[in-house]
Amino acid sequence: MINVALFGFGRIGQMHAENLNKNKEIKLLYVHEKIDQLSNKAKKLYGCKIEKNYNKIFNDKKVDIVFISSPTNTHIKFIEEGMKRKKTIFCEKPLDLNINKIIKTFKKIKKLRPKIQLGFNRRYDPGHFSLKKDLDKKKIGKLEKIIITSRDPAPPTTSYLKSSGGIFRDMMIHDFDLCRLYLGKDEIAEIHAFTSSFTPFYKKIKDHELAVVTMKSKKGVICVITNSRHCSFGYDQRVELFGKKGMLISGNKKENSTELFNSNQTNSQKPFLNFFIERYNDAYNIQLKELISLHKNKIKSRSTFEDGYFALKLANAAYKSLKLKKAIKI
């Protein structure tokens, strides 16, 4: 049995706890949560130990995996504590809002080489990841354009938005990561960001309601990402890869989300109306299975600390472009 300590029992933490509890190879040993109402809920649901002193958890040799879904400003601290005790680590995105802190920890990771997996769940979505496999098989020839659409049905809570780091670091960071997945070794060379807010609320909290980013890779691939904090017809998630010989699409309905367009075939699907926990439920479970395999030394992580660093670097570049009101080189 693999013993897991979960840090954070908010919305995403509760989803992780449910998946951990369902897995027959895992025992949810601890939950670390400062809010009494949430920690009491965790104990009632799962019978786990509630420990508010995180050092006691990290010092417990019975703990094999630490699952970090606590507030962003705790991520680096908990990662470093996990590294010191040689725990297998899962951490939600973003790693931190301060890229200098990430760089310092990155140096330690290169030296200590811990087993770590980042919470870029979209890499584990069967539809989105099948695009990568089909791309590598040259089904659409040379990649020329990436188009990603991400629209939430409704914004998160005000308290969450105020501490999230903004739409590029909180929401679009997933899409930056997907672009990097599809581009492979080809790196982003230029970025231009635009935002708009039709609701005064977003200006008050210094965030943005809508965002569009255009990027160009060193090999000339164009990437277009569009985000919205609201969407009247549900959770809209689409990825399109356009190549010399055709097009691949991963859409809103997982079972039929991959579409191939070429001279012999075209296919389309209706939108699948759902929120991210339901939309990516399979992805979260696949990610957990891979984390277990990572812990057992069977595989390498599909989403690394390095991926988290470069995704945040792109998010920061988007903010710089927005401030300067022009495209910038990276």
Cα–Cα distance for residue pair 282/123, rounded to 1 Å: 11
CA dihedral angle for residue 41, residue 46, residue 51, residue 54, rounded to 10 degrees: -110
Q: How many CA atoms lie within 13 A of 213 on its CB side?
A: 33
Give backbone dihedrals phi and psi of 165, rounded to 5 degrees, phi first.
95, -5
Q: Which residue has the tokens 């190549």?
A: 243
Per-residue pLDDT of the chain in tens (330 residues, 90 and over written 9) = 999 999 999 999 999 999 999 999 999 999 999 999 999 999 999 999 999 999 999 999 999 999 999 999 999 999 999 999 999 999 999 999 999 999 999 999 999 999 999 999 999 999 999 999 999 999 999 999 999 999 998 898 898 899 899 999 999 999 999 999 999 999 999 999 999 999 999 999 999 999 999 999 999 999 999 999 998 888 889 999 999 999 999 987 544 455 666 666 555 555 454 577 788 889 999 999 999 999 999 999 999 999 999 999 999 999 999 999 999 999
Residue 99 to residues 28, 73, 236, 282, 308, Cα–Cα distance (Å): 31, 12, 30, 31, 10
Within the chain, all domains assigned CATH 3.40.50.720 are found at 2-114
In CATH, 122-276+310-329 is 3.30.360.10: yes
CATH superfamily label, 2-114: NAD(P)-binding Rossmann-like Domain (3.40.50.720)
Pairing of strands 328-329, 210-217: unpaired
The pLDDT value given to residue 258: 59
Beta strand extents in the chain (DSSP E only): 2-7, 26-32, 49-50, 65-68, 88-91, 116-118, 143-151, 188-196, 210-217, 222-228, 236-243, 246-250, 258-261, 328-329
Cα–Cα distance for residue pair 266/210, rounded to 1 Å: 31
Enclosing H/E stretch for 294: helix 281-295
Residue 294, judged by CB atoms within 10 A of its CB (0-12, 13-18, 19+), counts as: buried
Model's pTM, two decimal places? 0.92
The total of other beta-carbon atoms located within 10 Å of residue 110's CB is 10
The pLDDT value given to residue 254: 44
Within the chain, all domains assigned CATH 3.30.360.10 are found at 122-276+310-329
The pLDDT value given to residue 255: 46
Number of H helices, E strands in the chain: 13, 14
